[in-house]
Chain A
């Protein structure tokens, strides 16, 4: 444990010294991707989403989340509420299938669709690819919650990237993204994501919780928490349609 802390602290100091002055944005974005990318292993966690909509009771969703970044795959199996128990998502690359245990059928869906009618999108559960998809248009120094940050405006490199423009608030000392804003092609703010706390899992960083605020549907927000994170190797069979079918038997 001590060794891990020393290694982490060392890497933060190195990162800070490397990026504190004039950032090389290509390297910085690559480093941000790497920090959350489990390229050599698997990742799993229990996720809880609490969605708030004006005039409605809060919706609480619990699910089991499995990710294998080297193959660009993830699986989500719904645990709660009971009516949605057993529903599942399988994402491979850009393809995503939704499994409904009642009809026992898979429906082709999109990473851009909202997750279970919340403010989260299915793509929020895939690995980050900022370096590949974006270039930094501008940046400014600033402070967020007492921490020194860069506020960087990223624009999509091509028309295939779902979010055309992002603004990231990146901590200078450890390169963790504390806040994000997503803008439409027309430049309108669509949603804001705040990530107040990260948790370290085998040298990688995943949000402990994140708050997504919808800027279009005013008053709608979703809080996602990631609990019991694990990097235990997962069987290959988890990332298959058969798994989603079998988990319901």
Chain B
């Protein structure tokens, strides 16, 4: 119990030197916590948003070739799939059976490409509740020609005025104000700071004035007719009309929702068919392992499955392209998951993590050299003190442990400060709001950058820093332990 006290006291004797060493350790730990926390948060947001978007973590579909050799995605037999999910005990919040089709949505000559999600509104009653409607509702969507669009899409189609002024409008306002200020200045020049202030106020006023008109337009747009131009599953061009039943507020915009049977008829699919079954798991951890287990169960159940080793790490679009080029008979079934669909993001995240790990390793290598040198100086400076301790009966192991304890406390202190600094940075980043950028919203959680630090990363960083610091200090500590008491006491420094 005496040694830790002495070690702490020794550390406090050289505050500046130890502060620098602990600071360097803290910096390394801060980098790894902040970078991994941000990457983990981004991935978690992307995974969550994508899961909400495609409504699922694990997906099941089947593909066959029609008489013209065109690949068609349509599930007509999911009974064994449902049974397998149940048998494997994959707890899920819900399952969705949707038809998806990309198409051009047109209103008064304005058009936008969107994914149409054909929903079984009786089966997906939660969806109607989860959408935040600015106008209308999902009531009566089942079996109807209704369509639910986002406010973003409504803006693009000119159904409602944009909430924010665009660059051209802002520029026009700026020119107008600049001209007024120039005319009134007497010097023929506009005060730049005054112009900025007035411009900010004018933009805010214009956007506020637009709000009332916009709200009115949103309310009126329910009932308007949208034309949808798309291709059938066999590749024929088709056009349908949908009536707006609701406009929902979207953090980011991807799909327009319609009734599945109505969409099926438009894309020439049987009424009860669909092309993607999504399983939204209660616990999406170990997703890849769960996907592989489900694949194996489906093989046993008799489905002609696309090989799982070819699925992992690839998006379903890539797999579909390959199947289009491959000759096969009957239906091919496919189980995949959100990680495979987000393959590019995950690879980028892994790259960033690896880079931060590399940076951490370099920082630690530099710090280890610093610790070795510092402890060698410390041992040199305290040679007589070591001699006194040995003369008073301290054993060699106690001398060595004293230095190792100092190194351990140093690493613990540095790591804990690094954790705190890392968490502070993450909390600071989380405070920033990015609501205005809808393109960025896919990476956000309620308009903010989320962060997620794995406990294993914290434990691992702590263990690595302590182990490396102890390893660096062990050589000078051993040298101190081997000093002869008489020689040490005679030392003149």
CA distance A158 to B231 in the complex (A): 14
Interchain CB contact under 8 A, A163 and B109: no
Which of B68, B106, B108, B109 counts the most A-chain CB atoms under 10 A from its CB? B109
B305 to chain A minimum Cβ distance, whole angstroms, is 26
A13 to chain B minimum Cβ distance, whole angstroms, is 38
A18 contact set on B, CB distance < 8 A = none
Say if the beta carbon of B134 comes within 8 Å of chain A: no
One of A108, A185, A218, A219 near B236 (C-beta < 8 A): A185
One of B187-195, B237-245, B397-405, B408-416 at the interface: B237-245
Say if the beta carbon of A190 comes within 8 Å of chain B: yes
CA distance A164 to B235 in the complex (A): 10
B109 contact set on A, CB distance < 8 A = 53-54, 217-220
One of A53, A158, A190 near B239 (C-beta < 8 A): A190
Interchain CB contact under 8 A, B239 and A184: yes
B111 to A, closest residue via Cβ: A217
A164 contact set on B, CB distance < 8 A = 236-238
Say if the beta carbon of B66 comes within 8 Å of chain A: yes
CA distance A158 to B108 in the complex (A): 32
Say if the beta carbon of B162 comes within 8 Å of chain A: no
B235 contact set on A, CB distance < 8 A = 112, 159-160, 162
Say if the beta carbon of B207 comes within 8 Å of chain A: no
A228 to chain B minimum Cβ distance, whole angstroms, is 32
The B-contacting residues of A in range 153-174, CB under 8 angstroms, are 156, 158-164
Number of interface residues of B (CB under 8 A): 22
Which of B234, B236, B238 counts the most A-chain CB atoms under 10 A from its CB? B236
B106 contact set on A, CB distance < 8 A = 216-217
Say if the beta carbon of A27 comes within 8 Å of chain B: no
A184 contact set on B, CB distance < 8 A = 229, 237-239
Say if the beta carbon of A70 comes within 8 Å of chain B: no
The verdict on A160 contacting B238 (CB below 8 Å), with A112-B231, A185-B232, A219-B109 known, is no
A38 to chain B minimum Cβ distance, whole angstroms, is 25
B231 to chain A minimum Cβ distance, whole angstroms, is 7
Interchain CB contact under 8 A, B66 and A185: no
The verdict on A186 contacting B240 (CB below 8 Å), with A160-B68, A160-B70, A219-B109 known, is yes
Say if the beta carbon of B93 comes within 8 Å of chain A: no
B166 to chain A minimum Cβ distance, whole angstroms, is 14
The A-contacting residues of B in range 175-198, CB under 8 angstroms, are none
One of A54, A160, A185 near B237 (C-beta < 8 A): A185
22 cross-chain CB contacts under 8 A: A54-B109, A112-B235, A156-B236, A159-B67, A159-B234, A159-B235, A159-B236, A160-B68, A160-B234, A161-B236, A163-B236, A184-B237, A185-B232, A185-B237, A185-B268, A186-B240, A190-B229, A190-B239, A216-B229, A217-B109, A217-B111, A220-B109
